[in-house]
Amino acid sequence: MNSRWFITRDGKHTHGPFTEEQLLHWAQSGKLLPTDLVWKEGSDSWVPVMDLGNLKQNKQTATAAYVQMHEYSLPDYVYTDFWGNVKTISFYYVHGTLVKYTTQIYTSVYGGGNSKGFSINTKHQNVVDMWICDHNNKEFHFRIFQDIPLREGHKVAFLLAQPYDVTCLLIDIDTKEMFYISNNDVLGEVCSKANRSFLIFLVFTIYLIIEVINRGLQPPVGCYALFGGIISFFTSFILYSVYSALYTNNFYNHCLKIGDIIIDQLSTSAASGI
CA atoms within 13 A on the CB side of 248: 15
Please, which pLDDT band fits residue 15 given cuts at 50, 70 and 90? Answer: confident
77: helix, strand or coil:
strand
Domain 77-184 matching CATH 2.170.140: the answer reads no
**Lowest-pLDDT range of 98-102, 134-138, 146-150, 221-225:** 221-225
Q: Is the pLDDT of residue 12 over 70?
A: no
Please, which pLDDT band fits residue 135 given cuts at 50, 70 and 90? Answer: confident
The average pLDDT across 233-247 equals 81
Give the residue, 104 or 25, on which the prediction is more confident: 104
- Residue from 25, 18, 14 nearest 3 by CA: 18
Q: What residues does each domain of the chain span?
A: 5-72, 77-184
The average pLDDT across 86-113 equals 83
pLDDT of residue 58: 47
8 Å CB contact between 38 and 49: yes
Q: Is the pLDDT of residue 170 over 90?
A: yes
Q: How far is CA 252 from the centre of its chain?
A: 10
Beta bridge partners of 106: 125
Q: How far is CA 154 from the centre of its chain?
A: 19
14: helix, strand or coil:
strand
42 DSSP assignment:
T
> Residues of the chain with pLDDT > 90: what percent?
10
- Residue from 200, 231, 225 nearest 213 by CA: 225
pLDDT of residue 222: 63
pLDDT of residue 144: 85
8 Å CB contact between 37 and 11: yes
Q: Is the dihedral of CA 262, 266, 268, 274 positive or negative?
A: positive
The residue type at 81: D
Q: Give me the phi and psi of 142, to 5 degrees please.
A: -130, 140
Residue 75: asked if its preceding bond is cis (omega within 30°), the reply is: no
Mean model confidence pLDDT for the chain: 77
The CA distance from 85 to 101, in Å, is 41
The CATH number of 5-72, from 3.30.980, 2.60.60, 3.30.1490, 3.30.450, is 3.30.1490
- Residue from 29, 28, 33 nearest 9 by CA: 33
Q: Give me the phi and psi of 113, to 5 degrees please.
A: -170, 175
58: helix, strand or coil:
coil
- Residue from 131, 126, 181 nearest 153 by CA: 131
